[in-house]
Amino acid sequence: MFRRIGNTVVRHPVWTIVAWLIAAVAIVATAPSLPSNSDESSFLPKSYESIKAADLQERAFPSAFTPSAIALYQRTDGGRLTAEDKQDVARITTELGKKHIDQVQKVVPGQPSKDGRYDLTLVQMDSKNAGQPKQADAAKVLREDVKALAKGTHLDVKLGGSAAQALDQQDSSKRGQALIGIGTFVIILVTLLIIFRAPILAVLPLVLIGLVSAIANGLIAYATKLFGLQANSSISSILIVVLFGVGTDYFLFLMFRYRERLRAGDEPKQAMVNAVARVGEAIASAAGAVVIAFLALALSTLGFLKQMGPALAIAVAATLVAGLTLIPAVVSLIGPKVFWPSKSWQREPDNARFAALGRGVQRRPALTAVASGLVLIALTLGTFGYKATFDLASGSMPKTKESMVVQDEMQKAYSAGAAAPTDVYLSSTDGKPLDRTGFTAYASKLGAVDGVANARMSQVSKDGTTADFTVTLKYEASTDKAIDAVGKVRDIAHADAPEGTEALVGGMSSIYKDINTAVNHDYRTVFPVAAVLIMVILGLLLRSVVAPWYLMASVGLGFGATLGATVWIFQEGQGHSGLMFMLPVIMYLFVVAIGTDYNILMIARLREEAREGRDPRAAAGMALRHAGPTVAAAGFILAATFATMMLAGNALLTEMGFAVSFGIAVAAFVMAMFFTPSLTALIGHAAWWPGHGDRAEPSADADTGSNGSDRAAGQDRNSVAHDPAGRRS
């Protein structure tokens, strides 16, 4: 199949390129625009208690005041607010309300802090548009207006709250995307220049993948709108890295084999046909593993991950199609001039370092397997210290952003949970008005829960069927202590609800509690489904039942080592309270799926060498010699491009960038280079049971290996005489 694809593309390169350009124009021109949503609650299904509570609040208390933005005042000298300062705060609050800013429904004064150094203005916005860009725009206007109104006073005012966080997150995302994009381009360009010493080859993947990126983003927009998925700005940064990192990997897989076929004596066009024929299966299998793993995220209960999975799957699928059609078409048109001005492509390098590594694996496979395995196990020990943090807003932007400064200062000035109180909604189950005589006792029981600062009955619905009890926790909403406390509040709220009533607990801590539950569900669902599907792909590629088991065991160890190293670096080294809650899921998919690419490339090459008649140990040694440079180059570029995410300046992308880049480095330089080939050499022919894929096939077009190169070259040259695609360009 892949030989037919190669023949077709090389025979009609211009039409292939034109088809891609037409597709790009059509898709980009018609793709819908997607607003980003930064509201954490929108990522949970309607079945979770916190979402049920939010829906109940909208029905029972449609005019309830929930601030979307908070203006925090303090004196410029840090002292206690004077009577004049308080008059200025009241004036600013009144004038701000008179401006009738879009999305703003109410502007009311807040409570001063107990120490007299802070005061607040609370702004309510339309709850239907929570997390949407229009509220971020409103926050921008509010921030400008409140600062303008405070000019000439002794007040320093900052705007925080969810709408301001959405604004700051939006700005941070744009800056992060720019830095990630520039860093990715520079790394790919410089690395390819060093590897090939050919400017055309260094620039070509950036141009071609840029075209693929435009198409992929358009297809993602279609899929997101069609299936009603949630859009999030953080996904754009990840997409940049996936498209250019994975795309460059597949480009390298193809170009290394194309260069190898030219050195073996193939004519240029036939060299590309043979390259697609031989490496196409490995690229397709590798991409298939990544696509299926990402699609497994569709089983997630979190909207953020549900959106990320199909988006990344579409990106990788588009990259795969480009790797098998667009790239071969363009390179076949250019021919060997693509390597200009370097002449090194004309001679076979000795690959001394990789040859030496190959000889080491060949001579001592047991020692190599044990040593590399122990390194992975040692790093995996760090996973026992893993803790999660759930504040997606603060994790998506630097702590220096104004809304984050407000959040930190409010925690110090007020009760830590005051900025995001928990609400317990008590509703009658028979539709009759509630009996209010038990409200005081019920509030007392809620207030007595460990971790609760105070609890009070704040309002009753107009029809008297629902009561709202405001519970203020002692801890900031996203902390582990707050999540534990809200779990206890739920227990008491449900157990002590008066007869004939039902209790629902809402608020940010309740949302984080449900997110934690959802993530644990994803661990039990997404992980095994992705693993089984990847094993099926490996089994189909290798025609083996045995090899997929130890290949998946190796990438599983790689995942454990990556998570352990990330815990040690960020929790132990930098003192983070925990890692972002979705990081293990994302890490698992990237490390297991993309890390499998290198195992696939190495094991496929090992099978080729075995089919040349080599014994398992010799095949492992030769595979490392020939495929080692490709794996090293691809692994370095992909790891480095993911590392650019650390430039974004926020906890989420910094942790993700380190974790995925470290995991890919482990996959390429530990698993694929040493662990997998040494295990395969030790297991021997049994690794290919029951298909015996390592046995020589009389009709096989063996185009690699030192003994088979001349024979394969001869076969390919003979085929040129009968194949119009093989004519010399």
- As a whole number of Å, the end-to-end CA separation of the chain is 24
- How far are the Cα atoms of 207, 323, 573, 648 from residue 219, in angstroms, in the given order? 19, 18, 41, 25
pLDDT the model gives residue 441: 92
pLDDT for 484-515, tens place per residue? 999 999 999 999 998 889 999 998 889 889 98
* 382-420 pLDDT per residue, tens: 999 998 887 666 666 777 888 888 888 887 787 666 667
Under the banding of pLDDT at 50, 70 and 90, the label for residue 696 is low
The dihedral region occupied by 130, where left means phi > 0, alpha psi between -120 and 50, and beta the remainder, is beta
Q: For tokens 């009738």, what's the residue?
A: 100
Query: Which pLDDT value is given to residue 35?
Result: 55
pLDDT, tens only, 152-210: 999 999 998 888 888 887 777 777 777 777 888 888 889 888 888 889 988 999 899 88
CA 710 to chain centre: 45
Phi, psi of 62 (to 5 degrees): -60, -25
Confidence of residue 709 (pLDDT cuts 50, 70, 90): very low
250-296 pLDDT per residue, tens: 898 899 889 888 888 889 999 999 999 988 888 888 888 888 888 88
- How would residue 701 be classed by pLDDT, with cut points 50, 70 and 90? very low
Residue 567 — pLDDT band, cuts 50, 70, 90? very high
Phi, psi (degrees; rounded to nearest 5) at 45 = -65, 160
Is residue 528 packed enough to be buried (19+ CB in 10 Å), middle (13-18) or exposed (0-12)? Answer: exposed
Residues 547, 610: Cα–Cα separation, whole Å: 15
Ordered alpha helix ranges (H), 99-161: 133-150
Is the confidence at residue 27, as pLDDT, over 60?
Answer: yes
H-helix or E-strand containing 409? helix 402-413
Alpha-carbon distance 541 to 558, whole Å?
A: 21
The answer to whether residues 660 and 652 touch, using CB atoms and an 8 Å cutoff, is no
Q: What is the pLDDT of residue 565?
A: 93
Query: Band of the pLDDT at 698, cuts 50, 70, 90?
Result: low
pLDDT band at 231 (very low <50, low <70, confident <90, very high): low
Residue 400, judged by CB atoms within 10 A of its CB (0-12, 13-18, 19+), counts as exposed
Partners of 454 in beta bridges: 472
SS3 category, 14 = helix
Reported as a single tens digit per residue, the pLDDT across 296-321 is: 888 888 777 777 888 888 989 999 99
pLDDT at 217: 85
Burial environment of residue 521 by CB neighbours within 10 A (0 to 12, 13 to 18, 19 or more): middle
Q: Which of 122, 185, 115, 672 is nearest to 421 (CA)?
A: 122
What value, to the nearest 5°, has the Cα angle with vertex 627 and ends 622 and 629? Answer: 115
* Residue indicated by tokens 């170009």: 255
